[in-house]
Amino acid sequence: MLENFAALTPGAFYRYAIRPDGDHYFVELGDRIEQFVGVDKSELLKDANLLFNRLPSEHQQELFQRVVDSAQQQAEFHYVFSVERPDGKTVWLEARSTPELKANGDVLWTGFVYDVTARERATEKLNSHLSNVNHVLNNMHDAIITTDAHGKVLYLNQSAEELLGFQLSELKGENIKQVMPQHHKRRHDNYMASYRETRQAQIIGSTRSVEVVSKSQEYIPVELRICEYVENGALRFMGTLRDLRPTIASKEALDSLRSTDPLTGLKNRSALLSHITYCLNAPTSKTSGHYCLLSLDVDDFRFINEGFGVNRGDDVLVEIGQRLQRVAADAICIARIQEDEFGILINGVQNRAQVEAYYERLKDALQEPIDLGKAASSIRLSAGACLLVSSDMTSMDVLHHCEVALGTSKQRSRGGLSFYEASLGDSYRSSALIDQKLKSPYLLSELFLEFQPQMQADGIALGYEALLRWRSDGDLIRPDEFIPIAERNGAIVIIGEWLIEQACQFLLWHQRTFPARETRLSINISPVQFQQANFVQIIAEAVKRTGIDARFLHLELTERLLIESTDHIVEKMSALSALGITFSLDDFGTGYSSLGYLSRLPLAELKIDKSFVRNLEPTSSNYRIVEAIILLSQSLGLNVIAEGVETEAELALLKRLGCVYYQGYYFGRPVAREQLTAPQMG
């Protein structure tokens, strides 16, 4: 019976014994052992060392120690080890067996050995990707320390090593109390014992000021936040330590206290206005240039507060402030004006191009994602700029003008820069007019679609993206002008329903006109539209009404959506996936990047934002970002498509990185359906 069962398993059956004198041998071996290790079974039965000598020395030592432990404790033997076959290939095996003490003193193990080479290689690849995560942690400004449930240190990032003066190798496995002052160790034990018993947090989840002791015995004041998480079923604690020495030094002066934002440590609005007043009265010349105020607003900051809580939002603001201080160290003043708005006052400005270059430096400083706990976010800044060119202006005038320009940036296209001009009042009136037109009963009759191809590098078509267009009173209104307003006033809901219907009608037309040529149609879905309670029903009814094959309808979602209720999003996406509909994550890398989200969502594709493709060069940060996105997509089994491909050089670099699908002017501009030809349609 045992032999029959062995034949039904993917493993190789074995019996292995050790005599009291230490001699060891195989009693019985299944036929699959030859397939696994490349050595004849009959030879192994004669000499067990023919197998064991093919293990690396470290695996041999560990294996025999586990055999001894299993024999002494009469406990199950389990070990994963590598073997070098005679043909030079390395295989990974996993052995499980149960020991039995025989009357003659022999210990006999009966069990199975399995070939787990594919699993171990996949694990090795995953560990390689996790090293990229470790790289991100090592580039965080704050110190990160993780421990197990008993306080044993598991990990230090580079900032923690620099703060404490210890290397990870020196502290790993040691109790975290080693870096605590003596008076704090006892309180820490009491805190943790109470928490494990009652689960009532006294220090978990809160922020407090404490001291840590460095290797050189320096007592360092830090701001400490502790959170808990579960890894592979085991409870873990992570502490984030922010060095308070610079903050404490700056707060010793009374004037600093009066002019400092308490959260970020930056100057406050009052201090900024004082600096502006001084600059307005200071002499300038053509050679010295002008003063300029930049007002910076964090795009979609409310999603962070609503999705992760105000405390996490505060952490993000602090991190933004710290990054601005690093990149704008030459500024006259860096201030937090209001909740998610910052001001930077600079001098020596000769022209607008100089301000634009300065703004690009600020944006680049926020490209590296900020940890949100359950996700990581690359922060986007919209900006307004005002040159201090008139002594007739007051500081309040300058600030107001800058905020008017900022408002224009947010209306036009988030993540951009606008300069104040008197004509900006016209922009506000234009926005009000668009708002009214979006409420017109004739709106849907003014909408139309254009189609841009999505291709492989060899010219084979993947499909098309349907791009929304609006012509009102003879004027073409850009999507980046009307869509944000439509999302605010609710018109995006009826526009979205129209878009879904038109997409299905296009696929129906294509299936009838070109039955032998399958094509995919991608449409963009607004977060506001997706959040509608009947969103799934609307799509399901449109698919049923038109009778299309839903496999060819592809929905592009944005990262803005994914920061909110993940369970609700997964539920809707799963319902649509059941119909055959597929999804991509649009503009990936510009918003709330999270491995946790990606692993849960039924995605088919990641879409690289055109901002990363533009000016793509092997030495650029964009190149490394695109490379990381492609590696991530490959590890998750997702397709990846790059948008905004305009040149042959960009295409060549993307191909080198492993990108397969592309979209952009290099392959074709958006055109009306009537302009699509039969060869294009397949």
Cβ(382)–Cβ(408) below 8 Å:
no
Q: Determine the topology of domain 251-422 in CATH.
A: Alpha-Beta Plaits (3.30.70)
CA 37 to chain centre: 41
DSSP codes, 415-470: T-EEE--TTHHHHHHHHHHHHHHTT-TTGGGGEEEEEEEEEETTS-EEEEEEEEEE
The CATH class, in words, for 141-246 is alpha beta
User: What's the whole-number average pLDDT of the chain?
Assistant: 84
- More confident position, 181 or 555: 555
pLDDT attached to residue 210:
84
With a CB cutoff of 8 Å and minimum separation 6, the contacts of 654 are 613, 616, 626, 642, 645, 662
pLDDT attached to residue 682:
43
Owner of token pair 């036929």:
31
* pLDDT at 448 exceeding the cut of 70: yes
* pLDDT at 103 exceeding the cut of 80: yes
pLDDT attached to residue 552:
95
Model pLDDT for residues 536-575, shown as the tens digit of each residue: 999 999 999 999 999 999 999 987 776 555 677 888 999 9
23-32, 236-245, 366-375, 503-512 — which is least confidently predicted? 366-375
Residue 320 CB-density burial (10 A; 0-12 exposed, 13-18 middle, 19+ buried): buried
- More confident position, 175 or 196: 175
Homologous superfamily in CATH for domain 440-675: EAL domain (3.20.20.450)
Phi, psi of 220, rounded to the nearest 5 degrees: -115, 120
Pairing of strands 605-608, 639-643: parallel
pLDDT attached to residue 428:
56
CA 324 to chain centre: 21
Q: Determine the topology of domain 2-115 in CATH.
A: Beta-Lactamase (3.30.450)
Phi, psi of 94, rounded to the nearest 5 degrees: -125, 120
Model pLDDT for residues 225-275, shown as the tens digit of each residue: 888 877 777 888 888 888 888 766 655 544 566 788 888 999 998 899 999
User: What is the sign of the dihedral through the CA atoms of 157, 340, 355 and 387?
Assistant: negative
Coil, strand or helix: which one is 234? strand
Opening angle at CA 362, ends 285 and 307, nearest 5: 140
Per-residue pLDDT band for 2 (boundaries 50, 70, 90) equals very low
Share of the chain above pLDDT 90, in %: 39
- More confident position, 562 or 33: 33
131-140, 256-265, 383-392 — which is least confidently predicted? 131-140
pLDDT attached to residue 252:
53
Q: What is the mean pLDDT of residues 502-529?
A: 90
Among 276, 277, 249, 284, residue whose Cα is nearest residue 265: 249
Q: What is the dihedral of CA 50, 51, 56, 61, to 10 degrees?
A: -100
Per-residue pLDDT band for 656 (boundaries 50, 70, 90) equals very high
pLDDT attached to residue 423:
61
pLDDT attached to residue 679:
43
pLDDT attached to residue 336:
94
Per-residue pLDDT band for 138 (boundaries 50, 70, 90) equals low
Phi, psi of 222, rounded to the nearest 5 degrees: -135, 160
Alpha-carbon distance of 617 to 647, in angstroms, equals 12
Model pLDDT for residues 52-90, shown as the tens digit of each residue: 999 998 888 889 999 999 999 989 999 889 999 999 999
* pLDDT at 306 exceeding the cut of 70: no
Owner of token pair 């009306």:
672
- More confident position, 435 or 496: 496
pLDDT attached to residue 565:
54
Residue 595 CB-density burial (10 A; 0-12 exposed, 13-18 middle, 19+ buried): middle
Alpha-carbon distance of 89 to 84, in angstroms, equals 6
pLDDT attached to residue 4:
46
pLDDT attached to residue 267:
92
pLDDT attached to residue 307:
67
Alpha-carbon distance of 567 to 544, in angstroms, equals 26
pLDDT attached to residue 6:
46
pLDDT attached to residue 206:
67
pLDDT attached to residue 289:
77
Report domain extents, the chain.
2-115, 141-246, 251-422, 440-675
141-246 matches 2-115 in CATH topology: yes
Share of the chain above pLDDT 70, in %: 85
Per-residue pLDDT band for 681 (boundaries 50, 70, 90) equals very low
pLDDT attached to residue 446:
94
Q: What is the mean pLDDT of residues 507-529?
A: 89
Per-residue pLDDT band for 471 (boundaries 50, 70, 90) equals very high
pLDDT attached to residue 127:
58
Cβ(415)–Cβ(296) below 8 Å:
no
Q: Residue 554 is inside which H or E element, if any? A: strand 553-558
Alpha-carbon distance of 172 to 180, in angstroms, equals 15
